[in-house]
Structure 1
């Protein structure tokens, strides 16, 4: 999937390379720039972290006329008025004007190196709003951004990545000389695809995918159906024959014997009785025996 993303040319794509201090994603970013130039796309680069010379190093020199740098490296905050572009000019209207002044008839690929610099000096909400405006504006075909995830809070990183159609998380591979790329791609239908691959970047900025990473899920052993669950109890659940006979001879409470039942049902002489004779003041209604109650 990594090679498909790098070689894709879908309009409206927003790709984020998510790296850390343990592994830099700039080589992969430059590889995408080189691929876009060979695809005859017009590429605009907002440079904040490294100079134009460093970004041009290794790129196809024959495609230089389709590549435009908007320097913010020398004066990224615009304090000395030495840069052609600064952080505070990251506005959709200004960017659209900047791109249409230099590009050909087709939409451009906008490369931001890096989004972390913008997030450190602008409100993250403002950055997300302006990225969304660029996606919908039409002047930009594809947005590519490098984001250092270990410089920001998790909520900020997740908010920016939520706008992206593809997020490529990069990390070093401890078991070899390669790197690990976890690609999360959201299709237009809403389906989310994920894949982890081991890759390396060659000197000519081409990407070589060596293998896919599969995570083995440990399976739990099925319980033995023949095992006795009462085998290791500290008490005995079974009765011997003598214990069962003794249990059956015990008279249960609230169970009357035949003799007790006869004594209760056929009281003998001298048994007490309650007699009630209603007087003339009693007003007893057979249909409503509770008439005298205030209910």
Structure 2
């Protein structure tokens, strides 16, 4: 599943990758960038806590040609006042709409993608609602954020160990695919992940997979992790709770036979009408005697109708 999401076989507008301090999503994001460069004309990478040089040092030249880096990590709070982008003060969508690559005429009709590394700084310094609105606004098909340019996919990272489960669930509602990285104790190069994916048909898939990233940040050896069956074991040495009771809860063979022959009250009531009908030879009849207070109208209620 993770391979199909990365290469675009499984369509997904918003992909959320959740990592932790022990298991960083930066290697997987680097692998994702190489796949995105083969599918989209331009990649806009918003670096909030990962410096762009970390990607530039490992990505091949053909991938870098498709990447446009926006560095928000140098001065995220605007303390230096040196003209750098600020996470706290810069409106992300307005900034991207003024970007020369997105606003020039030669980019009309292009397919672009946006990657945010990571959402944690936006959530902390702006608000969770601002972050969720930004993700939805970037992928809005009714009122596209960029004239003539289609945002095919938005990929975002978030540090899940820094946020509450309630906030992460809100992000999960916005995302169409959610990849949760999990610690792998078997090997340093093997990664485990839990994937929740919304297909365009409305079906929701949940799957656990194990994969490996090569030194060139390529996805290798993807296998599905089957959930282990739970076997219930009985302990013969456990005490019998019915051993020391003053009454007996078990039935003898004779008592079981007597119980099976017993006719229950509701069975007897159900069988009684059938026996009466058999004896009478027909169905039942209803006799009604009107009371003195009953008021019967002798006139025809449909007399005024032309029938």
TM-score higher than 0.5:
yes
Whole-Å separation in 1 of the counterparts to 2:21 and 2:137: 30
Match in the other structure for 1:279: none
Which residue, 193, 213, 221 being the options, matches 2:205?
193
Whole-Å separation in 1 of the counterparts to 2:56 and 2:130: 30
| Residue 11 of structure 1, CA deviation | 6.8
Whole-Å separation in 2 of the counterparts to 1:107 and 1:230: 70
Question: Within 5 A, what are the aligned runs for 1:51-130?
Answer: 51-82=51-82, 84-87=84-87, 88-98=89-99, 100-101=102-103, 104-105=107-108, 106-130=110-134
Secondary structure at 2:65 match in 1: helix
| Residue 234 of structure 1, CA deviation | 3.9
| Residue 83 of structure 1, CA deviation | 5.2
CA shift in 2, pair 1:65/1:213, >3 Å: same
Whole-Å separation in 1 of the counterparts to 2:74 and 2:9: 32
**Runs of at least 5 residues in structure 2 that lack an aligned partner in the other structure:** 235-239, 252-307
Whole-Å separation in 1 of the counterparts to 2:13 and 2:241: 62
CA shift in 2, pair 1:114/1:90, >3 Å: farther
| Residue 76 of structure 1, CA deviation | 1.7
Match in the other structure for 1:16: 16
| Residue 211 of structure 1, CA deviation | 2.3
CA shift in 2, pair 1:63/1:180, >3 Å: closer
| Residue 39 of structure 1, CA deviation | 3.0
Whether the 8 Å contact between 1:74 and 1:83 is mirrored in structure 2 is no
Whole-Å separation in 2 of the counterparts to 1:120 and 1:230: 55
Matched, 1:207 2:210: no
**Runs of at least 5 residues in structure 1 that lack an aligned partner in the other structure:** 223-228, 240-295
Whole-Å separation in 2 of the counterparts to 1:230 and 1:86: 68
| Residue 181 of structure 1, CA deviation | 1.1
| Residue 200 of structure 1, CA deviation | 1.5
Whether the 8 Å contact between 2:11 and 2:200 is mirrored in structure 1 is no
CA deviations 1:24-50 (Å, max 9, x no partner) are: 011101110111113353100111212
Which residue, 142, 147, 159 being the options, matches 2:170?
159
Whole-Å separation in 1 of the counterparts to 2:9 and 2:52: 24
Match in the other structure for 1:176: 187
Whole-Å separation in 2 of the counterparts to 1:215 and 1:38: 34
Whether the 8 Å contact between 1:72 and 1:83 is mirrored in structure 2 is no
Whether the 8 Å contact between 2:210 and 2:223 is mirrored in structure 1 is yes
| Residue 79 of structure 1, CA deviation | 3.2
CA shift in 2, pair 1:233/1:41, >3 Å: farther
Whole-Å separation in 2 of the counterparts to 1:135 and 1:43: 14
Secondary structure at 2:37 match in 1: helix
RMSD: 2.7
Whether the 8 Å contact between 1:73 and 1:83 is mirrored in structure 2 is no
Whole-Å separation in 1 of the counterparts to 2:42 and 2:97: 14
Whole-Å separation in 2 of the counterparts to 1:101 and 1:63: 22
| Residue 169 of structure 1, CA deviation | 0.3
Question: Within 5 A, what are the aligned runs for 1:227-242?
Answer: 232=243, 234-235=245-246, 237=248
Question: Higher mean Cα deviation, 139-148 or 113-122?
Answer: 139-148
